[in-house]
Amino acid sequence: MEKTSTGIQENVASLLCYLFGWVTGIIFLLLEPNNKTVRFHAFQSIIVFGAFSVLWIVFWFILFIPFLGVLLFWLLDVLVFILWIVLMVRAYQGQMWRVPIAGDMAAKWAGV
């Protein structure tokens, strides 16, 4: 594995793009101007977890509908947790696994 301009191995930097969702995505996007693999993971993290952040806000307002809101909020949390783990594992393995729609956008913006 090659090192990035931050001095971190490419697969570790790719994993770290997902560690704190869109926040670490933005950090690595700013820190890594050259490595297309890391930039892909940073963009994908920003898109995926940014979208889920918006959904969390929407579901927060739906929580006022007792059963439906709690159920949707819980299902979203489980889905995001599973996706988060899968993205970090695949990034560490050196795979550029694309989440539908978000992955295509990230690949285009990263120049992959």
Contacts of 112 (CB under 8 A, 6+ apart): 36, 37, 40, 96, 106
Tell whether 36 is covered by a domain.
yes
Q: What is the pTM of this model?
A: 0.90
Q: Provide the mean pLDDT of the chain.
A: 91
What is the spatial distance between Cα 21 and Cα 18, in angstroms, rounded to a whole number? 5
Tell whether 25 is covered by a domain.
yes
Residue 64 scores a pLDDT above 80: no
β-pair partners for 3: 9
Tell whether 79 is covered by a domain.
yes
Whole-number pLDDT of residue 91? 97
Residue 5 scores a pLDDT above 90: no
Structural domains in the chain (count): 1
Tell whether 4 is covered by a domain.
no
For 38-100, list the strands marked E by DSSP. Answer: none
Tell whether 1 is covered by a domain.
no
> The domain containing residue 63 runs over which residues?
10-106
pLDDT tens-digit readout, 14-31: 999 999 999 999 999 999
What confidence category does residue 76 fall into, taking pLDDT thresholds of 50, 70 and 90?
A: confident
Tell whether 111 is covered by a domain.
no
